[in-house]
Structure 1
Amino acid sequence: MDPTRLLPPLPGRPSDGHKGTFGRVLLAAGSRGMSGAAVLAALGALRSGSGLVRLAVPRSLVPVVASVEPACLVLPLSEDAAGTTGLGGLVTLRRAAAQATAVAIGPGWGQGMALEVLAETLYVELDRPLVVDADGINALAVSRRVFAAGENRPRPAGPRVLTPHPGEMARILGTDIASVENDRESQARALALRTGAVIVLKGAATVVTDGDRLIVNSTGNSGLATGGSGDVLTGLIAGLLAQGLPVLDAAWLGVYLHGLAADLAAAELSESGLIASDLPDWIPAAWCELEARSAEHCEN
């Protein structure tokens, strides 16, 4: 069967829609030396169809990221001596999150105690969908409170998506990568049931699960095994959440689109020649293919 028959409905595009109709994304990302991760996440969100994308980065990064993509709004945050977001950024992020319909944190964020506090506070407090990736996951894994079993675990105020690669998954679970890779579906399902989050366990045949339903993705290729590809995925999922898709649907559709964009790109560029910054340019072609298949299925 054509796997697109099983995909969730695509987000609507009413002809009289405006920026607010299609959702507002807030991305907290980037640190000194990692501005590219922030930009890639923003490009993924922009290509999702979201109406507005705001990228919150340490103040010193603003000129860099603002010059790369003019369609993205840039929000400066206080930073520490290492060039990562400082605790003072929490007030700014809370204020900006109140205006967003979905939030993502973590790509290129760096490490440090301030980020651990920021990650846990936002994870628990935000009442809107939140995607946590990369250094956001690493920050949560340090205290382990949000991954704890039983009643001591803090309950988040809104829907959550966690997008670990196998190394990050091993860190969360306190195990090794081989153990994760040997039982990917069970490990992802168990973490989803423990946390109440949708888990996107990245890798060949990415697993997406809410603990009940489980999907093994059929798109993508080895060209995705390159730095920054996961940042694009984070932005893409956040953008779909911002448009009002249910959490599992947004994660599943984002993973499928991301992989399809890689497949279309590799057909022209090769899997070896594909890099993360190619992916946003191929997401529109992936949308076109999905929309064409969707229209065909409706006719049939």
Structure 2
Amino acid sequence: MKLYTAEQVREGEKEAAKRANISLYTLMQRAGESVFQCLSQYYPKCCSVVVVTGGGNNGGDGFEVAQLALKHKLQVTVWHIGDPKRLKGDALSAYQQWIKLGGKVVFDSVSLPLSNVIIDAVLGTGLQGELRSSAQLAIQWMNKQTAPTISIDIPSGLIADTGSCYSDVVFAEHTISFIGLKQGLLTGQARNYVGQLHFDDLGVGALFKDIVDSSIEVLDPKKQVLPERLAASHKGEYGRGVLIGGDQGMGGAILLASEACLNIGCGLTSVLTHPDHIMPSLSRTPEIMVQDWFDLAKYQQRIDWGTVIAIGPGLGQSEFARQKFDELSALSLPKVLDADALNLLAKSPNYDRNRILTPHPGEAARLLNVSISEIEQNRYGAIRQLQNKYGGCVILKGAGTLVCYEDRILVCTAGNAAMATSGMGDILTGILVGLLAQTQDIFLSACLGVWLHSACADYIVMETGKNVLKASDLIDYFHVVMKSSSQSSNI
């Protein structure tokens, strides 16, 4: 599914309606029907609704929902933010139809009755700048209620293009997006507010797609598939991954990464690390070849042997680490850079088409010499800047992880808050190295690796009910989840 900016949808829906020979008001009515259908499906016992409307077309959608609810014998109260005399166009028509039907409008929250469900129709996708005090008070009121909220098109207060916000945002149980799915609904802070996301093209989706194109889309694991292993294949055909990291006292990161690399199917996995970590690694996973990174002759032999290099987990930022980073950066082999390797790269930027970078927002901020808040205010813009500056394939981690390669951005919708623990990034690095060793394709490896990493966490949470995961929990589920994916489109 492609993702769009608010402006793309606004302009595209006009042309789509024109080609379909229908009015924009018809689309507003269809949007109201879609929201009411959601209300009926998820809250079938609902008998009272409060619809909170604003002054734009989003408010018009709300008046359409209110009409349908009233016609179905629900108790309906509309709280309008602002002066209805200032309504224009289709929103005004929807308001007039509500009044004609005998509907009433209140203008403050004091007289609002208790309700089973709240419909959020205050602010749509055109939000720019700080919220007005009246809208902010309405959002705060909705968030204080125990009744669930359904947001029309976007939770009020959320910025449609970026998923960021200026201040208060409605915490929705359900959000229904129309015509084209807005790109800001799937990444960053949006994941806190959107709830269950629904999409309805209102009957003009095919026309809209013909009119508007986008380079941003949802990551679809069905399009990212590893080639099947032939019966007579051998380990040498599945790559030789070399992972460098684990300075003194930081061995856990490289151990996790190397185990993930091995378990995702890398033909041969090797680690170059501080000698303190050799015995723990061999005791834990004897299938992995581990060597002392201070033995320069063996170190160089292992680097020359590898087909894929990863550097960073637990690497540190010593002069030794800097030297190794500089040496490895000059290699033409495909590479994965994470953790301290990204911090070293930020100090000495270079461009490389044949690598995967895996920054979290803090590392991304250092790579672009900006604040973390600037990264999170526009994750799409940040990842494009990273890819333009550093090359290769960039993964911007976080809620709604993004993958950028050349002019394409893919958004991962899998993953959950149980992943917010140490070592998760090391597991992702190992997965990427193992996939890259097998495919020699940085974009395929990045997309499949990001999805698998998050989908494993979703699978474990679904199966066990855990709300916090250890990073190592994911390793035993790689092939379970990949098999499930090949059999079903929904894990």
TM-score range normalised by the length of the shorter chain = 0.7 to 0.9
Matched, 1:145 2:340: no
The residue type equivalent to 1:255 in the other structure is V
Q: Deviations over 1:201-220 (max 9, x none)?
A: 11001110113111011111
What does residue 267 of structure 2 align with? 51
- Between the aligned partners of 2:367 and 2:278, the Cα distance in structure 1 is 31
Matched, 1:277 2:467: no
The residue type equivalent to 1:138 in the other structure is N
Of 59, 69, 74, the match for 2:285: 69
| Kept after mapping to 1: 8 A contact 2:265/2:434 | yes
Partner of 1:128: helix, strand, or coil? coil
What does residue 132 of structure 1 align with? 337
Q: Deviations over 1:102-121 (max 9, x none)?
A: 11010011221221222122
- Between the aligned partners of 2:485 and 2:356, the Cα distance in structure 1 is 23
The residue type equivalent to 2:317 in the other structure is Q
Of 196, 210, 213, the match for 2:391: 196
| Kept after mapping to 2: 8 A contact 1:66/1:74 | yes
* Larger-Rg structure: 2
Partner of 2:305: helix, strand, or coil? coil
What does residue 302 of structure 2 align with? 96
Supply the RMSD in Å over aligned alpha carbons: 2.1
Shift of 1:246: 1.4
**Paired residue total:** 274
- Between the aligned partners of 2:361 and 2:221, the Cα distance in structure 1 is 29
What does residue 12 of structure 1 align with? 228
- Between the aligned partners of 2:447 and 2:461, the Cα distance in structure 1 is 21
Shift of 1:25: 0.6
Of 307, 311, 317, the match for 1:111: 317
Percent identity for Structure 1 against Structure 2: 36
| Kept after mapping to 2: 8 A contact 1:190/1:211 | no
What does residue 262 of structure 1 align with? 457
| Kept after mapping to 2: 8 A contact 1:120/1:140 | no
Matched, 1:25 2:241: yes
Shift of 1:33: 1.9
Shift of 1:245: 4.2
What does residue 169 of structure 1 align with? 364
Higher relative contact order (CA 8 A, sep 6+): 1
| Kept after mapping to 2: 8 A contact 1:35/1:108 | yes
- Between the aligned partners of 1:47 and 1:218, the Cα distance in structure 2 is 24
**Structure 1 residues 291 and 97: alpha-carbon distance in aligned structure 2, compared to 1, 3 A threshold:** farther
Shift of 1:6: 4.9
| Kept after mapping to 1: 8 A contact 2:219/2:447 | no
Shift of 1:4: 4.0
Shift of 1:257: 0.6
- Between the aligned partners of 1:33 and 1:223, the Cα distance in structure 2 is 26
Partner of 1:243: helix, strand, or coil? helix
What does residue 236 of structure 1 align with? 431
User: Which ranges in structure 2 are unaligned for 5 or more consecutive residues?
Assistant: 2-217
Q: Deviations over 1:16-67 (max 9, x none)?
A: 1111011111111212222111111011101211111101111121111111
User: Which ranges in structure 1 are unaligned for 5 or more consecutive residues?
Assistant: 79-87, 147-154, 295-300
| Kept after mapping to 2: 8 A contact 1:105/1:131 | yes
